[in-house]
Each structure stands twice: as structure tokens, then as C-alpha cells.
Amino acid sequence: MRNILLWLLLAICIPAQADTETQRQRLEKELTRIQQESQSTYQQFLMIQELRRNEMSEAPMITAQPISPEKSIPIPKYEALVQQRQGKQERIKQYAIELDSLYSHFKALEMKSTQFLSNSTRLNKNRSNDYSVRRKQLRNYLPSKFLYQRS
């Protein structure tokens, strides 16, 4: 009779443990994916930031230098200079927009990562609590000589 109860108790506990283990593995995979995406986003952020910094510090080229010293320096057209300056300002604005977008995406990933870590911690805590509860239940059903003794 006790053997039947033991097997029944084990049959009930094992699927719950397997389900918890599956959830934990899924959380770990998702956490790894989020961390990789976060790292990729951060690297993109650094690259765009450097492009923007270079664009802002770069002096505008007013004239093209002549190849040979005998040729005269061409006078740049005003429209070309204005167009160059506007293009530079547009690129700087676009970089700023991309930086803001990447920053908000990075923060969202960090929040998700924190949430997954807390869920994983909670699952591990529940797992250890389940283990101690199951051990107490087994103690009630098994004679003392069959119990696993921890040293």
C-alpha cells in the first residue's frame, strides 16, 4: 500500500518538476537572447555616436585643392556650400534620432532582462521550496530506514 502511495506521489511530483525545469530553461534561453540583443544594440549605439561625433567635428571643405600648383583654386558656389551645410545638419539630426531610438530600445531590453532575472530567481526559489515540501511528504509515507539521510 505504501509503495503505491509512494509511486503515486512521485508520479504527481515529477511532472511539476519537469514543468518548472522547462520554464527555467525557456527563461534562460530568452535571457541569453535578450542579453545578446542588448549587447548588439549597445554596439550600434556606440558606432552611431562616433559617426555623429565625427560629423560634428569635421570642418566643411570649402574648396578642392588643385592637383598641380600651376592651376588656380576654383571659387566654390554659394549654393553648393549651403547644400553641403544642410546635408551635414540633416545627417547630424538623423544620427540623433537613431541614437534616441537605440537608447530607448536598450533600456527596454534591460527592463526585460531584469524581469526575466526576477522570474528565474522566483522559479529557483519555488523549486527549492517544492523540494523541501516533497521531502517532508515522503517522510510521512516512508519508513525511516528508506529515507535519504543528508549529512
pLDDT tens for residues 107-146? 999 999 888 888 877 777 766 665 565 555 555 554 454 4
Q: How do residues 9-49 score in pLDDT, each as one tens digit?
A: 555 555 555 567 787 788 888 888 998 999 999 999 999 99
Q: How do residues 39-58 score in pLDDT, each as one tens digit?
A: 999 999 999 999 999 999 88
What is the reported pLDDT for 147? 46
- DSSP secondary structure of the chain: -HHHHHHHHHHHHHHHHHHHHHHHHHHHHHHHHHHHHHHHHHHHHHHHHHHHHHHHHSPP--SPPPSSTTSPPPPPPHHHHHHHHHHHHHHHHHHHHHHHHHHHHHHHHHHHHHHHHHHHHHHHHHHHHHHHHHHHHHHHHS-GGGSPPP-
| pLDDT > 90? residue 88 | yes
pTM for the predicted model, two decimal places: 0.60
What is the reported pLDDT for 51? 94
Q: How large is the average pLDDT for residues 87-97?
A: 95
| pLDDT > 70? residue 98 | yes
What is the reported pLDDT for 75? 78
What is the reported pLDDT for 99? 95
